[in-house]
Amino acid sequence: MNFEAFRVEVRRIIDEDRIIESQGELMLYSYDASPAEQAMPRMVIQPLTTGEVSEILKLANEYLVPVVPSSGRTSLHGGPIPYNGAVVIDLMRMNKVLEVNLEDSYVHSEVGVRLDELNAELARYGHFFPPDPASSAAATVGGSLANGAGGMRGAKYGTVKDWVLGAEVVLPTGEVTFMGCRTLKCRAGYDLLNLIIGSEGTLGVVTNAYLKIWPLPEAVVRLRVYFKSIIDAAKAVGVIKSRGFRPLIIEFLDEGTMEAVSNYVREFKYPESAEAMLIIDIDGPPEAMDRYVNSMVTLLKETGGFEIEWTSNRDEMEKIYMARRAAYPALLRLFSNDRVMPEDISVPPSKLPEAVKGIRDIGDKYGLRIVTWGHVGDGNLHPNIIYNPSDQSSISRLHAVTREIGLLAINLGGTVSSEHGIGVLKKDLLVNELEVKGIAQLRLMKAIKKAFDPNNILNPGKVIDVD
């Protein structure tokens, strides 16, 4: 690596006020939202155009300087952390919504636009971009595309990969390409766009994207229901799906989550006998909503739900949802002397009862507290493991617990990573999953990384280790 030569040349092409080298400011780029080890970048560069990103990558490739793309930095697996003195490319200044095209059903956006900002703009046209990570106030188009993010509405609308038509991608060599199409149908050779989506900034830097958009739901009703048993709550999800309901969201909160939230949000109260809570949004034409709600309430009662409430009032809906929105900060506050390892598995919805029971058993077996919530409409659970980072026994048990939860998901026909990605924290679990599904895939993944990034300069050490 010849960082000094890189530094001199970067200063020729990027304005000084868009290059950060002061320790105080660099510190802000040394972590993400995960408990992954922090690392200081050597430099942060804030490009404004695809051309600048291309020039930076050409130089990085020439001088063998590792570079890490960075956006909202809400990653939960260490993806944007610049290990080994890497340079950060901060894409937050590329933050314009370029075009909303209703006729062709897309929004063309630069990558630094936050998802809530994007949806505020689209709402003016009566449309929205459905993928909605719970971090949408800070998470961006680029970071969400690179992470293959999902969210609550995944139950009905899938994840980011289902909503990207095409994207401008700068390869690690600095070459600029447009992957995918602007049309809804696109079969132009191998699907490289879908390799980029979810590649966590290891194959290319995305600078702008054409995203599919959808008309806003006409009417939405939010229901909140408690269950005396988490198993019953998990079973209810399968019943909802098998009866043909396709709710917009089905969010699951276990007792530990409710306890954390009630300590954090004064207004939030829950019945003592409740082991779990579901938040369900159903949407449809206004004239059908009473019928939908009545059927859903009947179903929830049959499956053991109690204290069922529902509303279509915006403020009331937000009040119900606050329990879910506050879950992560509430947990961090409640266990402020410990650390929280956020996990992210998916199982087929029919296997949710076995999954929630299995997670509880694993926590008991290793004596670690696990607090679980999730977007259960698509079988996605987030078990959050509480551990003590200064206690070696606690750390060893954490590793055993994450491994067993991953294996549980795989054995139930699921996956170790639904939406948060692999980053640095889940590389071993990814290998575990590939061992079950066919380890030849690891060889292919390494070959793909090499084909895109022959000098391994782009976000090295993330997702997979290259030999």
State the angle between helix axes of 327-334 and 314-325 in degrees (0 to 180), rounded to the nearest 10.
40
Which pair of structure tokens corresponds to residue 44? 């942060």
Alpha helices in 73-192 (DSSP H): 115-123, 141-147, 154-157
Segments of 171-289 assigned E as strands: 176-180, 205-212, 214-215, 219-227, 249-254, 276-284
Which window, 141-149, 176-184, 220-228, 406-414, contacts ligand FAD (CB under 6 A)?
Answer: 141-149
**Is residue 35 a contact point for ligand FAD (CB under 6 A)?**
no
- Residue closer to ligand FAD by CB (options 67, 405) is 67
- Which is it for strands 87-90 and 43-45: parallel, antiparallel or unpaired? parallel
- From CA 376, how far away is CA 34, in angstroms rounded? 22
Smallest gap from Cβ 90 to ligand FAD, in A, equals 9
Rounded Cα distance between 339 and 30, Å, is: 18
Identify which of residues 168 and 338 has a Cβ nearer to ligand FAD in the complex: 168
Pick the binder of ligand FAD from 43, 59, 139, 356 (CB under 6 A): 139
Considering only residues 144, 346, 372, 402, which one is a binding residue for ligand FAD as defined by CB under 6 A?
Answer: 144
Q: Rounded distance, CA 286 to CA 289, Å?
A: 5
Exactly one of 46, 50, 54, 75 binds ligand FAD (CB under 6 A); which one? 75
Q: Are 134 and 151 in contact (CB under 8 A)?
A: yes
Among 46, 50, 61, 71, binds ligand FAD (CB under 6 A): 71
What tokens does 106 get? Answer: 């897309």
Q: Is 33 in the site for ligand FAD (CB under 6 A)?
A: yes
Segment near ligand FAD (CB under 6 A); pick from 73-81, 99-107, 260-268, 387-395: 73-81
- Does position 328 bind ligand FAD by CB under 6 A? yes
Report in angstroms how near the CB of residue 419 gets to ligand FAD at its nearest.
3
Residue 297 · residue 222 · CB < 8 Å: no
- Tokens 């409409």 belong to 377
Site size for ligand FAD (CB under 6 A): 37
**Contact call for residues 77 and 422 (beta carbons, < 8 A):** yes
Q: For residue 114, give the 3-state DSSP assignment.
A: strand
Is residue 135 at the binding interface for ligand FAD, with CB under 6 A as the rule? Answer: yes
Cβ neighbours for 270, distance < 8 A, ≥ 6 positions apart: 226, 258, 262, 277
Binding region for ligand FAD (CB under 6 A) out of 20-28, 38-46, 133-141, 221-229: 133-141
CA atoms within 13 A of residue 250's CA, in its CB half-sphere? 26
Near ligand FAD in 177-206, by CB under 6 A: 200-201, 205-206
Three-state DSSP class for 212? Answer: strand
Planar angle of CA 215, 217, 222, nearest 5 degrees = 155
95 is an interface residue for ligand FAD by CB under 6 A = no
Residue number, 66 or 305, with CB nearest to ligand FAD:
66
Q: Does 279 sit near ligand FAD (CB under 6 A)?
A: no
Is 79 a binder of ligand FAD (CB under 6 A)?
Answer: yes
Using alpha carbons, select from 238, 158, 239, 143 the residue that is nearest to residue 196. 143
**Binding of residue 68 to ligand FAD (CB under 6 A):** yes
Return the CA Rg of the chain: 22
Q: Does 74 bind ligand FAD (CB under 6 A)?
A: yes
Site for ligand FAD in 397-436 (CB under 6 A): 419-420
Pick one of 122, 146, 236, 356: the residue that binds ligand FAD (CB under 6 A).
146
**Span interacting with ligand FAD, options 67-75, 233-241, 331-339, 447-455, rule CB under 6 A:** 67-75
DSSP structure class, residue 415: B
Q: Does 52 contact ligand FAD by CB under 6 A?
A: no
Distance between CA atoms of residues 141 and 161, nearest Å: 12
Report the residue from 56, 76, 192, 412 that binds ligand FAD according to the rule CB under 6 A: 76
The region of 44-52, 62-70, 186-194, 349-357 touching ligand FAD under the rule CB under 6 A is 62-70
- Measured from the CB of residue 186, what is the shortest distance to ligand FAD in angstroms? 20
Binding stretches for ligand FAD (CB under 6 A): 32-33, 68-76, 79-80, 91, 111, 133-135, 139-140, 142-144, 146-147, 149-151, 200-201, 205-206, 328, 419-420, 459, 462
